[in-house]
Structure 1
Amino acid sequence: MTEQQAETFIHHVKAESVGAGARFLTRSGEHSAPVADTAVVPDDFGTPAVVVATLEDGSRVRIAHGSRIRIASSRRPAQLPGALAQDDLELIPAEEGTPEAVVVAVARAHARNAGVQRLAARLSRGLNAKAGSHLQDVRDLAHTLFVELDDRERALTVCRLIIDQPFDGNFGRWKWIESALAMAAYILRESGSEEDSAEALRLADTLRTPDDADEDPFRAKINAEVRQRQLNEPNLYDKEIHRAMAAADRTAEREWRELRLTALLYLRTHGGSETLEPVELDRRISNELVAIRALDVQQRNS
């Protein structure tokens, strides 16, 4: 961004809060001429009804009093630390198929979601698939789209930014790729198409890559026994969730349920275990998604 270009940021404000200098955002994302002045017009009973904004080009915009509208201004939104500037979205190279284009498209589609904007702001400058922090941000963005927003199509698109990364022995990096693999495989299975089901099976094979990574026969046997025990007796955070529920701590409950969901998705993609079959895992995953989304609604309404 050159020094001559002033950053402009997206705000969602009430009509009566629109001030001079603000620019309205059209449905296509274009900016209007700056607002020169505003006036409030009451209804026949004296109640504020319409805000009339006069633009510098002489045109007028009528907005229902109390409604919310998108504007662009040079003031960074305080409620969205790290939010993407509108000009940033327009200036980032958006060559189709690049990770940056995917991130920017997601940010535009969910402009009101603070979590999406915060993660997109970090990733839009470029994705380094070798950096664990970038892998985590990609996984967290996909998780927000899938769990919180139920936007499976975009969640799958974001997962595909990293799920083709090979296992290199670094489990610190791999855990984020593994989580994205499990999420993507679940979304694909749920679509019901034969093509998607075949891709889900391929992703499951990729997720199991570390299982056969050790070339030493003795260590491989020991690792297999430990892995099977972990699959049969997984930590699903029952005590932690019950403790949070008893304390009416919705934030803690949601965090523990997200960890449980991640574990369930991994188990399902790995193929289940001797104690938890795929059908049971599908039931638990569905229940967990319902529970987390219900908590989100409660927190928004509180």
Structure 2
Amino acid sequence: MPESQPESYTFRVNAELLEPGQIPVHESAPLAPVKDSTVKDDDFGTPALVNLILEDGMALSLAYGSSVRVQAPPPVSAPADAVRLVPHEEENYAAIVEAAAQAHPDDVRVQEVASRLGRGLNVKSGSNLRDVRDLAHMLYVNLSDAENALQVCNIITGLPFDGNFGRWNWIQSALALAARITHEAGDQETSAAYAQAVRAGDTAETDPLKAKLAAELLQRQLNQPNLYDREIHRASDSGDDRGERDWRVLRLDALLYLRAHGGSQTLSEHELDRRIRNELIAVRGLNQDL
């Protein structure tokens, strides 16, 4: 995590899940905290509206299932518990890798990556960082081993952004994966902390003009992401299962990155959650065919 954190961060939640005390954000302005909420059905008995009463007396009506931005303080426990520091020698990152390898002794790809990492970890090496991320990815995506995958992610999730986007790419990917794993486990505070850390490089540019251009580029990437639709359809139509799987893995990585950013103007968190679930099913199904 960066040493300096904003006083608050925003995340998205479905309107019907808003809870008392949470602070909804309209455009860029935070409103008063939620005091009470009720759900109103339409004439056919289907939930249609969420009626909110805020602590200042304001009444709001929101569409059921709509995505609402909420403001919250940064997780207090994040530096110590959620996004860990680089393991000290006594923690022995090798033990984490070894435990993952022992859990899957017959998986050749896991054994190969674990063997490379067993020779030593250089956090300045992009290839080493990629091996850590790839091992976590295999454990979670291929083997549905979220527990070991999270432990492996945590080998590098505490590394700060140092201006090198080549290395940061793999750390950021591990953070996005860790955010997903903890989200699925119901630990929303820790998931939010990982997601916050994903964005460490977003505002790194200090030159005003370059910063503006970087922000515009980031927004385009969030709103118009490359999800490899053409490549996936081409591989599927030609019966290239391996090629389709590889493209779908790239799509999954892009979706995890978008989800860690809280969605965008074109893809809500709810929609991203749906797509991530579908992509995991597709990739895991293709794994069985290879």
Same fold, judged at TM 0.5 (above)? yes
Match of residue 191, structure 1, among 185, 210, 213: 185
Identity of aligned residues (%): 57
Q: Give how far 1:296 is off.
A: 1.0
Give the 3-state SS of the residue equivalent to 1:181 in structure 2. helix
Q: Give how far 1:100 is off.
A: 0.6
Report the counterpart of residue 105 of structure 1 in structure 2: 99
Match of residue 206, structure 1, among 197, 208, 212: 197
Report the counterpart of residue 218 of structure 1 in structure 2: 209
Match of residue 235, structure 2, among 244, 248, 257: 244
Q: How many residues align?
A: 202
TM-score by length of 2: 0.68
Report the counterpart of residue 162 of structure 2 in structure 1: 168
When Rg is computed on C-alpha atoms for both structures, the one with the higher figure is 1
For residues 96 and 203 of structure 2, the distance between their equivalents in structure 1, rounded to whole angstroms, comes to 33
Give the 3-state SS of the residue equivalent to 1:212 in structure 2. coil
Are residue 254 (structure 1) and residue 245 (structure 2) matched?
A: yes
Are residue 277 (structure 1) and residue 280 (structure 2) matched?
A: no
CA contact (8 A) 1:272 1:278 kept: yes
For residues 146 and 261 of structure 1, the distance between their equivalents in structure 2, rounded to whole angstroms, comes to 12
TM-score by length of 1: 0.66
For residues 215 and 135 of structure 1, the distance between their equivalents in structure 2, rounded to whole angstroms, comes to 26
Q: Which has the higher contact order (CA 8 A, sep 6+)?
A: 2
Match of residue 154, structure 1, among 148, 169, 179: 148
Moved runs in structure 1, 4+ residues, more than 3 A? none
Match of residue 219, structure 2, among 228, 231, 235: 228
CA contact (8 A) 1:232 1:273 kept: yes
Give the 3-state SS of the residue equivalent to 2:202 in structure 1. helix
- The answer for unaligned runs of 5 or more in structure 2 is 1-88
Report the counterpart of residue 130 of structure 1 in structure 2: 124
The amino acid of 2:250's aligned partner reads L
The amino acid of 1:132's aligned partner reads G
- The answer for unaligned runs of 5 or more in structure 1 is 1-94
CA contact (8 A) 1:99 1:126 kept: no
For residues 241 and 233 of structure 1, the distance between their equivalents in structure 2, rounded to whole angstroms, comes to 17
Give the 3-state SS of the residue equivalent to 1:271 in structure 2. coil
Q: Give how far 1:96 is off.
A: 6.7
Q: Give how far 1:97 is off.
A: 2.7
